[in-house]
Amino acid sequence: MEKNSVVTVADRLERLSAYDVTPEKIIINSRSASGLMAFDIEPPSRASVVGDAILSFVSGMSDQNRADVLNTYLFASLAANKKYPADHQGKEWYQIFLTVMQDAGWTIKSRYYDSTSASGKSFTMDQLALKILSSAVAAAAVPGPTSALLLKVAGDAMASLQSSDKPLKVFDQNIKDKGTGGFAVGSCLEIDGQEVILTLGSVRFINHTNQTKVLFVNWDSSSVDLYRGESHMTMVPSIIERTRAIIAGKLGDRAVKQISEWEI
């Protein structure tokens, strides 16, 4: 994909229709649907497990924009999973993920992918992901208070996930079903009812041990190969409005079943 190359809406719709997101095994969470209803009362801040990601939302985002963030992320990650399912295909996975996000209606402002390492012999994946997200937020060059807010809700979401039994189980099962080592932490903000900003910090790992849990456990840095992805993007409402129906139709009930929301 050429970086932010000119792509017509017709091109986007054609490519979205062609992406393979055929359902695999799905984990159902009875609480998942509550956050997507049009007339829910908005809590101060909200977080979601969506596929292989933990996304946090600063208070004030509209229900429709939040649903569009969740659905486009889930769709793009499923399409990338289908096309590049192997552990060693992390860079290719990340590139097609961003391509699909662009097709879905996002402008990719910055992107980065490379190998990385943990500081020290022992580390946790959750803290590594938050560190990568911090770098992505810095690259976004948003005003200082906005940067602090994006990082705060992401940190709050990760902390609350550790004690949120059902969403954590959904995340663990989604990672298991995905079959490769990788996840993302993201933070999203709607500015004055207009621009929607999404920043993502992604971790890709190739595990050389029988470690099964991903988050909130200690990892031996010598037993895992690590890669990092950073991105910052903004929503294009006029395109999202055109792609929304195709994405919803191809996701079907996975737009509910692979998403688990909770308040933070």
Range in 25-34, 141-150, 155-164, 230-239 the model is least confident about: 25-34
Q: Across all residues in the chain, what is the average pLDDT?
A: 88
What domains does the chain contain, in order, with CATH numbers?
Answer: 46-263 (3.40.198)
Residue 26: the pLDDT is 37
> At residue 122, does pLDDT exceed 80?
yes
> At residue 32, does pLDDT exceed 60?
no
- Tallying the residues shown for the chain, one arrives at 264
> At residue 156, does pLDDT exceed 80?
yes
Q: What value, to the nearest 5°, has the Cα angle with vertex 139 and ends 137 and 141?
A: 80
CA pair distance 125, 116, nearest whole angstrom: 12
Percent of the chain residues past pLDDT 70, beyond the cut:
90
How crowded is residue 64: how many other Cβ atoms within 10 Å of its Cβ?
Answer: 14
More confident residue, 2 or 65: 65
What confidence category does residue 42 fall into, taking pLDDT thresholds of 50, 70 and 90? very low
- DSSP symbols for 163-185: T-HHHHHHHHHHHHHH-SSEEEE
Helix (H) or strand (E) holding 237: helix 237-251
**CB burial of residue 168 (10 Å; 0-12, 13-18, 19+):** buried
What pLDDT, in 10s, does the model give residues 45-70? 999 999 999 999 999 999 999 999 99
Q: What value, to the nearest 5°, has the Cα angle with vertex 6 and ends 10 and 70?
A: 65
What pLDDT, in 10s, does the model give residues 161-199? 999 999 999 999 899 888 889 999 999 999 887 799 999
Residue 44: the pLDDT is 56
Residue 4: the pLDDT is 52
CA distances from 124 to 29, 202, 218, 252 (A): 26, 14, 5, 34
Contact present, 251 and 71 (Cβ < 8 Å) = yes
**CB burial of residue 210 (10 Å; 0-12, 13-18, 19+):** exposed
Say which DSSP state 86 is in.
S
What confidence category does residue 24 fall into, taking pLDDT thresholds of 50, 70 and 90? low
More confident residue, 27 or 12: 12
Q: Beta 53-57 vs 182-191: how paired, if at all?
A: parallel
Q: Which two tokens stand for residue 222?
A: 């010598």
CA pair distance 199, 134, nearest whole angstrom: 9
More confident residue, 109 or 2: 109
CA pair distance 258, 50, nearest whole angstrom: 6
